[in-house]
Chains A and B, each alone.
Chain A
Amino acid sequence: MTSTLRRLVIMPAWNEEAVVGATVTELLRTVADADLLVVDDGSTDATASVARDAGARVLVLPFNLGVGGALRAGFVYAWEHGYDQAIQVDADGQHDPAEVEAVFAGLERADISIGARFAGAGDYQVRGPRAWAMKLLSAVFTRAAGVRLTDVTSGFRAANRRAILQYTRHYPAEYLGDTVDSLLTAIRAGLTVVQVPVAMRPRQGGEPSHAPWKAAVYLLRSAFALLIAMTRERTPARELPRTGAAA
């Protein structure tokens, strides 16, 4: 059954020429049964050609749209090209290609499968306002989805065809819109979610921020994004096709 599914890996990349080549090479070697699409989000460096040379298909956006914009472009591509499942993976190597199969496997139980850091694998630690933000998000999403979700801001997410269509309709380009807003709107449209425990690796390029004031701003923006998403009108779920109907 698994081998007949058409799968797409969507990798948004913005000025990642230093790392995208290695990530693409490793992904192509590890994940055999999926196509790889790198979405070059208006990079000013050689990201697109590095990814292409490494063997990926590349979508070149004419200017920077933000992660949400790049991802929606990827999901539109997946929808139009008839892919059954799509997974989003970071270009910086944070997401282990060996876990892609595990996150895809979650789609056997739900429309959206989240590779979560805190679900018992790996050793990712946060403290302070950032931890509170995650607790708040986790509580709200667990309530909305009816299953325990601990890491909703994870960018390691897989979608089936139903969820892909939902994403093509609503995937905001705003900060946190790509994770919090898109997910909550999908849940409110009637899509189901599961989380799969995965270990994350440290980023290969760039440094994660740990400044307390940045974390506080993050908390406020999460709360704001949640507020907006929660009060938005629901998309009627009946407009979405049933799971597997397009296969």
Chain B
Amino acid sequence: MTSQLVFGVVAVVVAFVLFRLLRAGRIREKYAALWILIGVGIIALAAWPGLMVELSHLFGVAVPSNLLFFAAILLLLGVALHLSLEASKLEDEVRTLAEHVAIIRADLDAARGAGPAASDDETDPEPRG
């Protein structure tokens, strides 16, 4: 069946790309886990088309493709939510870092005696080099 061949090729390509990214260290494991799960799922479904039909009987879904869409949407929702959470966490961390950099910078300037922009008075004790 041609469609099975197409799905098989897609599944293998997805799994291969994920593996390459993971090995090159360009994607962290915590993000890759969900994608690997998806890749394995695609391969399993491509290799064994009857699986979807049996699963849909098991869940009481009349049309097997509907179960597939449902599962796919659920997984993608999970991935999107996970990325939003990570982005929020990163923003928080960046914000905290920015605050501390600013404070450290101000303290450093104070310790040096004067800020760079305010150092036009001649009583500045720090020798300039």
Which residues of A are in contact with B by a Cβ distance under 8 Å?
Answer: 39, 48-49, 52-53, 57-63, 65, 69, 72-73, 76-77, 80, 173
Instruction: Give the residue of B95, B100, B115 whose beta carbon is less than 8 angstroms from that of A173.
Output: B95
A104 → chain B closest CB, angstroms: 23
Cα A8 to Cα B36 in complex, Å, equals 53
- Contact of A80 with B118 at beta-carbon distance under 8 Å, contacts A57-B110, A61-B98, A73-B98 already known: no
Q: Given that A48-B117, A52-B115, A52-B118 are known contacts, is A62 also in contact with B106, CB under 8 Å in the complex?
A: no
Residue of B nearest to A53 (CB): B118
Kindly state the separation between the CA atoms of A63 and B110 in the bound complex, as whole angstroms: 21
Task: Return the chain A residue nearest B101 by Cβ.
Answer: A62
Report the separation of the CA atoms of residues A61 and B97 in the bound assembly, to the nearest whole angstrom: 10
A-B contact pairs, 5 of them (CB 8 A): A48-B117, A52-B118, A59-B106, A60-B105, A73-B102
Interface bin, chain B: 10 to 19
Partner of A65, one of B95, B100, B106, B115: B95
What residue of chain A has the Cβ atom nearest to residue B115's Cβ? Answer: A52
Cβ–Cβ contact A59 & B103, under 8 A: yes
CB distance from A166 to the nearest CB of B (A): 16
In terms of DSSP, what is the predominant structure of the interface of chain B? helix
B99 interface residue (CB < 8 Å to A): yes
- In the bound complex, do residue B102 and residue A59 qualify as a contact, i.e. CB atoms below 8 Å apart? yes
When C-beta atoms are compared, the residue in chain B nearest to A40 turns out to be B102
Q: B residues within 8 A CB of A58?
A: 106, 115
Residues of A within 8 A of B117 (CB): 48-49, 52-53
Closest residue to A60 on the B side, CB-wise?
Answer: B102
B34 to chain A, nearest CB (A): 27
Closest to B92 in A: A173
Chain B residue, CB-CB nearest to A68: B95
Nearest 5 pairs of A and B residues by beta carbon = A73-B99, A49-B117, A59-B102, A52-B118, A61-B102
Q: What are the residues of chain B within 8 A of A80 when measuring CB–CB? A: 103
A-side contacts of B95, CB under 8 Å? 65, 69, 72, 173
A77 partner, pick from B101, B106, B115, B118, beta carbons under 8 A: B106
Query: What 15 additional pairs, Cβ within 8 angstroms, besides A61-B102, A72-B99, A73-B103?
Result: A53-B117, A58-B115, A59-B102, A59-B105, A60-B102, A60-B105, A62-B98, A63-B98, A69-B98, A73-B98, A73-B102, A76-B99, A77-B103, A77-B106, A173-B95
